[in-house]
């Protein structure tokens, strides 16, 4: 007979999974007296810790549970400063000393490369932040059906944790978000119910340029603002009075079932539909849907590393693959003879062109195309590049794109990655084409989370 009663046990955390949760294994007897393995996933634990945990339905092969008590703590365990940490899904490692987080991230990169047969000694220690708090320049908050504003509960996208603060966002961003939250309560506005597909307010996006101080507030709603004229007028007055740095106040209609910050209609309530930001001395325009690095301090390190490791020369041609709005393109363009950027998102390419014009850069060509087809088209019209850079999404560039890069035979390749696992499989594809991985520098753009970025260079053997 199946045992469905909760059972309390003591286990030791063996390792962390890719989501940052502890993993433990224990053996139990089944109803026939035979040994049966139970794999446990235990959030907010650290390697080597001994914990007491109560497991519901322990007869299953895998279960997830929050520990009842830490019996033997890791020496790097620390008290999380955020009052929402235990429930909020925004961070997973506030209970871990920052130096310990950095070591774990370095190990992740090394493990990913070892799996593909590379020497782990190519990986440098992860570059951290002097102050690993208040680093995000963009946050996407969600409204609960009752209208409370917050972030998703850990592991539960149906549950919203109402927030009083957020220690990874700038103080001005949090203050502006709390003002919007108060406004919603005062006007008794409803949030969106994902199950019933009804309700008014879905998300609040807050962006801020750390360089210019400009703020953007973007409300995503299921109706036009005209149906709530009195409330909208009050919101505009509140923001104008209390937040002069808000240079863009938007109301975005989104009636799609998909739970994404997208818009069918854009209503400009105040200011302009974009804000200005700066990086590496270049000015960028950021719209609500513009991808831009969310940690400007560490993003600057990424740019500096890419330039240092890529060694661009004034006589060279360069291709920037997955170029986005030109975050890397513009700094590199001032150091090479000609630069061509390729990006599948047309709005990003238009932004890249505009950003180049705004900064007086005239040696760039930008193409809105799929990466693989874009390379073929650009090689034909632009010519052979000596230097190629790519900064793909978390899913990586993929084997077809990497093999196309290998056949193009650029002398040097700079790979900026936000996923060590896909990075390792991607660069493995270049070995048959004569490339050697020279070095990998991890950079921590997201303290207190599992994510880590890398900058790597590969050289063509001649």
Of the listed 88, 166, 418, 454, which one is catalytic?
Answer: 418
The yes-or-no verdict on residue 119 having pLDDT over 70 is yes
List, for residues 42-101, the tens digit of each pLDDT value. 999 999 999 999 999 888 899 999 999 999 999 999 999 999 998 998 899 999 999 999
* Angle value at C-alpha 175, between 174 and 180, nearest 5 degrees: 95
Residue ranges of alpha helices (H) inside 92-196 are 98-115, 171-186
pLDDT at position 154 is: 80
CB-based burial label for 153 (10 Å; 0-12, 13-18, 19+): middle
pLDDT at position 316 is: 98
pLDDT at position 195 is: 86
Q: What are phi and psi of 328, to 5 degrees?
A: -95, -30
**Inter-residue contact 45 to 22 (CB < 8 Å):** yes
pLDDT at position 3 is: 56
Poorest-pLDDT segment among 227-231, 241-245, 289-293: 289-293
List, for residues 362-385, the tens digit of each pLDDT value. 999 999 999 999 999 999 999 999
* Angle value at C-alpha 150, between 147 and 152, nearest 5 degrees: 110
| Residue whose entry in the numeric block shows the structure tokens 């502890």 | 22
**Distance between CA atoms of 115 and 113, rounded to whole angstroms?**
5
Q: Give the residue with greater pLDDT, 155 vs 436.
A: 436
| Residue whose entry in the numeric block shows the structure tokens 């997830």 | 64
The one-character DSSP state at 57 is S
Q: Give percent of the chain with pLDDT exceeding 70.
A: 99
- Alpha carbon 54 to chain centroid distance? 33
The yes-or-no verdict on residue 428 having pLDDT over 70 is yes
List, for residues 335-372, the tens digit of each pLDDT value. 999 999 999 999 999 999 999 999 999 999 999 999 99
Helices and strands (H, E) in the chain, number of each type: 9, 23
Query: Model-level pTM?
Result: 0.93
- 149: alpha, beta or left, given left = phi > 0 and alpha = psi -120 to 50? beta
Residue ranges of alpha helices (H) inside 193-285 are 229-242
pLDDT at position 1 is: 46
Max CA-CA distance within the chain?
A: 77
List, for residues 170-211, the tens digit of each pLDDT value. 999 999 999 999 999 999 999 999 888 999 999 999 999 999
**Distance between CA atoms of 122 and 119, rounded to whole angstroms?**
6
The yes-or-no verdict on residue 113 having pLDDT over 80 is yes
User: Is 418 one of the catalytic residues?
Assistant: yes
pLDDT at position 2 is: 54
Average pLDDT (98-115) is 98
Domains and CATH numbers, the chain: 7-72 (2.40.50.140), 106-129+293-460 (3.40.50.150), 138-279 (2.40.50.1070)
Closest CA to 423 of 458, 387, 394: 394
Average pLDDT (218-225) is 97
Chain-wide mean pLDDT for the chain? 95
List, for residues 13-29, the tens digit of each pLDDT value. 999 999 999 999 999 87
**Distance between CA atoms of 149 and 163, rounded to whole angstroms?**
7
**Distance between CA atoms of 311 and 427, rounded to whole angstroms?**
19
């Amino acid at each position: 007979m199946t045992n469905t009663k909760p059972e309390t046990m003591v286990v030791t955390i063996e390792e962390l999974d890719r989501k940052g949760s502890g993993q433990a294994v224990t053996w139990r007897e089944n109803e026939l007296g035979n040994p049966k393995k139970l794999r446990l996933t235990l959030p907010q634990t650290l390697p080597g810790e001994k914990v007491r945990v109560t497991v519901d339905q322990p007869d299953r092969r895998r279960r997830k549970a929050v520990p009842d008590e830490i019996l033997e703590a890791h020496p790097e365990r620390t008290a999380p400063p955020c009052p929402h940490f235990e429930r909020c899904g925004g961070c997973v490692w506030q209970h871990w000393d920052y130096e310990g987080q950095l070591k774990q991230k370095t190990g992740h990169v090394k493990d990913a490369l070892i799996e593909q047969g590379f020497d782990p000694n190519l990986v440098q220690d992860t570059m951290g932040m002097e102050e690993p708090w208040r680093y995000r320049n963009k946050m996407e908050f969600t409204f609960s059906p009752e209208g409370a504003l917050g972030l998703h509960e850990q592991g539960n996208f149906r549950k919203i944790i109402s927030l009083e603060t957020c220690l990874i966002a700038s103080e001005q961003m949090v203050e502006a978000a709390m003002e919007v939250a108060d406004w919603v309560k005062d006007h008794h506005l409803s949030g969106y119910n994902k199950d019933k597909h009804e309700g008014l307010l879905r998300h609040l996006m807050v962006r801020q340029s750390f360089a210019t101080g400009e703020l953007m507030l973007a409300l995503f709603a299921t109706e036009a603002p005209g149906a709530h004229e009195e409330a909208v007028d009050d919101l505009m007055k509140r923001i104008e009075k209390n937040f002069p740095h808000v240079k863009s106040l938007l109301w975005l209609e989104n009636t799609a079932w998909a739970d994404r910050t997208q818009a069918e209609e854009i209503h400009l309530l105040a200011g302009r539909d974009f804000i200005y930001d700066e990086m590496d001395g270049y000015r960028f325009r950021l719209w609500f849907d513009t991808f831009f690095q969310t940690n400007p301090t560490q993003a600057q390190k990424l740019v500096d590393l890419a330039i240092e490791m890529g060694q661009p020369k004034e006589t060279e041609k360069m291709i920037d693959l997955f170029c986005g709005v030109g975050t890397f393109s513009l700094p590199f363009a001032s150091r090479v003879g000609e630069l061509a950027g390729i990006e599948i998102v047309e709005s990003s390419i238009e932004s890249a062109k505009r950003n180049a014009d705004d900064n007086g850069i005239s040696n760039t060509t930008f193409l809105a195309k799929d990466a693989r087809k874009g390379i073929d088209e650009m090689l034909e019209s632009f010519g052979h590049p000596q230097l190629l850079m790519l900064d793909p999404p978390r899913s990586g560039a993929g084997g077809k794109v990497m093999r196309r890069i290998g056949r193009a035979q650029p002398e040097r390749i700079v790979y900026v990655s936000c996923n060590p696992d896909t990075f390792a499989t991607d660069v493995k594809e270049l070995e048959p084409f004569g490339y050697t991985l020279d070095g990998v520098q991890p950079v921590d753009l997201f303290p207190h989370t599992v994510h880590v970025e890398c900058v790597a260079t590969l050289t063509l053997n001649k």
